[in-house]
Amino acid sequence: MGTTITAYDTIAAISTPPGEGAISIVRLSGEAALQTAAKVYHGKNLLKVPTNTINYGHIIDPDSGETVDEVMVSVLRGPKTYTREDMVEINCHGGIVSTNRVLQLLLGAGARMAEPGEFTKRAFLNGRIDLTEAESVMDLIRAKTDRAMQVAVDQLDGDLRRLITNLRQEILEVLAQVEVNIDYPEYDTDQMTTKMLQEKAQLVLSRVDELLQTASQGKVLREGLATAIVGRPNVGKSSLLNHMMHEDKAIVTDVPGTTRDVLEEYVNVRGVPLKLVDTAGIRDTDDKVEKIGVERSRQAITKADLIILVLDASQPLTAEDEALIKATAAKKRIVVLNKQDLPAQLDQTQLAALVPAEQLIRTSILKAEGVAALDQQIASLFFGGIENSQTTVMVTNSRQIGLLRQAKASLQSVLAGIEAGMPIDLVQIDMTAAWDKLGEITGDAAPDELITQLFSQFCLGK
C-alpha cells in the first residue's frame, strides 16, 4: 500500500439509490474525470474552476446539442478526495431517465462504468484507507441499529486499523531484534532473545484474545441475532412477534396451526438487532402443509442463536411442551410463560423442575404485560458487558475474526515452541506468520483475489 498514486482509468456510476428522488448524483473518478465531465457540461470551464467548488450549469448531449439536465457539478481535485484521484460529482434532478442519460453521456465521453465498490477500492489502493476502514463503509450503510452504526463509524475512523498496526509494529520490533542477535551469536544473547520473543508473543496474544472476545457481540451487531420463537400451536408466538415489531406482521387467530411457514423480520430490541423468526407451532400433525411448517420450525431451532420458547400458562404443561423444553435446553434461551391474564392451569413446580428460574419471563401479550422484562432480558444477555464500555474496539466481520484466530494459533505455536526448546529460527517462522495474518486484516498483506472479492460485495457507485 503505497502513498504514490498509480494512474487508473476514469470510472463513472450513479451513486444514489435507483428510483425517483429529489436529487441524484453521478460520480466520476480518475485521471480524466474533469476532462470527461467538461465534454458534456455547459457552464464555467471545469478545468479552470478552483477545487472543491460546486458549479451551476447544464448537461448537453455533444452529438445533438440537446439539453439533458440542469445540474450542479462539484469539482474535487486529488489527492484530497474520497478516492485520492480527481473526482467530479454531478447533482442531477432525481429522475431515473435523465440521470441515466447523464451517465450514458459520460460513458460516451470516455469514462468506464464503475464496478460495485470501485470508488472505495480506489481509496484503498491509493492508500487513503485500509481494509478495515473499507469494510466499515459497508457496515455503516447496512447498520440496523444506532449501536451497530457507532461501531462502524469508529472503525471508519481507523480504531481497528491503529490497534492492528500497533500489534504488528510490536512483532516487527522483536523480529528485528532476533535477527540482530542471530547475526552476532558471539554475544551469547540466546537466552535474552528467547525471553524477549516469549514476552512479546504473550503480550500480542492477550490483545488478540481481547479482540476475539468482542467478536461474538460484534457479529451480532452486524448481522443480527438469529432468534427463533418456538412453542406448540396457539400459545401466542405470532402475537409476540407482532408485539416486538410494533406492527401486525404475522397472522394471529385462535385457530391452532395458524402459522404455516417461517416468517423472518428484523427488530431492534434495546440496541440488539434481532433477526426474529416466527415458526409454525410444533406438534404431531397429519395436515400436509402444517407438517412441512413443523419440520422448518425444527430447523429454525437448530440454526438459531437465541430461542424464545413460548408456553401457555392457562393450560397444563403438555408432553409437546416438555419435549420442546428439552430440545432447547442446550441453547441460549428465554422461556416466556404467556397468557397470564387467564386463570392459571400450568403447574409451576413441574415447570420449575424443568426450566431455571432466571430463564423464565411471565407475560400477557394480549395486555402488553411483561414484554418490557423480555426486552431487558434479551439486552442483558448480549450487551451486559459492552453497553458500559463504549470505547472498546470491536471486530465485527467473519473475515477479521478468522484472521485473528489464525494469528492467535501462530502466537500459541511461538509460545509452545519456546516451551519445547525449539531453535529460534523455527520460532521466528511462527512469529512472522502472526505478523502476516494481522497484516491481512488491514490489507497490508492481503492477496489480490481477496481484495477483488471483498469490494465486489459493495453497492454500485460506492
Ligand X SMILES: Nc1nc2c(c(=O)[nH]1)N(C=O)[C@@H](CNc1ccc(C(=O)N[C@@H](CCC(=O)O)C(=O)O)cc1)CN2
Ligand Y SMILES: Nc1nc2c(ncn2[C@@H]2O[C@H](COP(=O)(O)OP(=O)(O)OP(=O)(O)O)[C@@H](O)[C@H]2O)c(=O)[nH]1
Residues lying near ligand X in the complex (CB under 6 A): 80-82, 89, 128
Q: Which is nearer to ligand Y, 247 or 341 (CB)?
A: 341
Find the binding residues for Mg ion in span 244-303 (CB under 5 A): 258-259
At its nearest, how many Å lie between ligand X and the CB of residue 171?
28
Smallest gap from residue 19 Cβ to ligand X (A): 18
- List 27, 147, 237, 333, residue binding ligand Y (CB under 6 A): 237
Binding segment for ligand Y among 20-28, 231-239, 268-276, 440-448 (CB under 6 A)? 231-239
253 known member of a binding site: yes
Question: Per-residue string for binding with ligand Y, 363-402, x by CB under 6 A?
Answer: -xxx------------------------------------
Q: Which is nearer to ligand X, 89 or 305 (CB)?
A: 89
Binding residue per annotation — 80? no
CA 208 to centroid of chain Cα atoms: 19
Which partner in ligand X, ligand Y, Mg ion, none is near 382 (CB below 5 to 8 A by kind)?
none
Shortest distance in whole angstroms from residue 255 CB to Mg ion: 10
CB of residue 264 to ligand Y, shortest distance in Å: 15
Q: Are 210 and 388 in contact (CB under 8 A)?
A: no
Identify what 454 binds: ligand Y, ligand X, Mg ion, none; CB under 5 to 8 Å per kind: none
E strand or H helix at 204? helix 190-213
With binding defined as CB under 5 A, does residue 36 bind Mg ion? no
Helix (H, G, I), strand (E, B) or coil at 402: helix
Contact positions with Mg ion (CB under 5 A) in 200-239:
237-238
Residue type, 135: E
Determine if 263 is a binding residue for ligand Y (CB under 6 A): no
Instruction: Quote the DSSP letter at residue 259.
Output: -
194/171 Cα distance (integer angstroms): 14
- 132 in a known ligand binding site: no
The binder of 236, among ligand X, Mg ion, ligand Y, none, by C-beta within 5 to 8 A per type, is: ligand Y
List Cβ neighbours of 160 (8 Å cut-off, separation of 6 or more): 132, 136, 154, 393, 395, 400, 441
Query: Residue 364 gets which letter from DSSP?
Result: B
- Binding part of the chain for ligand Y, among 177-185, 298-306, 323-331, 361-369 by CB under 6 A, reads 361-369
Q: Is 256 marked as a binding-site residue?
A: yes
How far apart CA 374 and CA 269 sit, in angstroms, is 10
286 annotated as a binding-site residue:
no
State the DSSP code for 210: H
Query: 68: closest CA among 110, 101, 42, 19?
Result: 101
Residue 240 Cβ vs Mg ion, minimum distance, rounded to whole Å: 9
Q: How far apart are CA 68 and CA 244, in angstroms?
A: 48
Q: What is the C-alpha to C-alpha distance for residues 48 and 447, in angstroms, rounded to an integer?
A: 40
- Is 434 within 8 Å of 407 (Cβ atoms)? yes
Contact call for residue 295 and ligand Y (CB under 6 A):
no
What single-letter DSSP state applies at residue 21?
-
Q: Which is nearer to ligand X, 121 or 219 (CB)?
A: 121
Q: Which long-range contacts (CB under 8 A, 24 or more apart) does 60-65 make?
A: 61/101, 61/105, 62/105, 62/108, 62/109
Q: Binding segment for ligand Y among 21-29, 256-264, 316-324, 374-382 (CB under 6 A)? A: 256-264
Cα(73)–Cα(429) distance, rounded to whole angstroms?
54
Q: Is 254 annotated as a binding residue?
A: yes
- Within 10 angstroms of residue 46's Cβ, the number of other Cβ atoms is 20
- Please give the annotated binding residues for GTP, written as ranges: 234-239, 253-259, 278-281
- Please give the annotated binding residues for Mg(2+), written as ranges: 238, 259
